[in-house]
Amino acid sequence: MSVNKNYYYRKIDLELTKYYKKSKDRISKNPDFE
């Protein structure tokens, strides 16, 4: 069960990182978005 949990959290972390990078790119391309 704990292995399953770790996998689940890692997946969430990956998604968050992807999303964060995407929005960061968008912000740097569009300065008045900040």
Print pLDDT tens along the chain (34 aa): 577 888 988 999 999 888 888 887 776 776 665 4
Token couple for 4: 């399953």
For the chain, the domain total comes to 1
Q: Whole-model pTM above 0.75? A: no
Contact 26, 33 (CB under 8 A): yes
Instruction: Check residue 26 and give its pLDDT.
Output: 74
Instruction: State the residue range of the domain holding 7.
Output: 2-33
Alpha carbons 26 and 12: distance in angstroms, whole number: 21
Q: What is the CA radius of gyration of the chain?
A: 14
Alpha carbons 34 and 28: distance in angstroms, whole number: 9
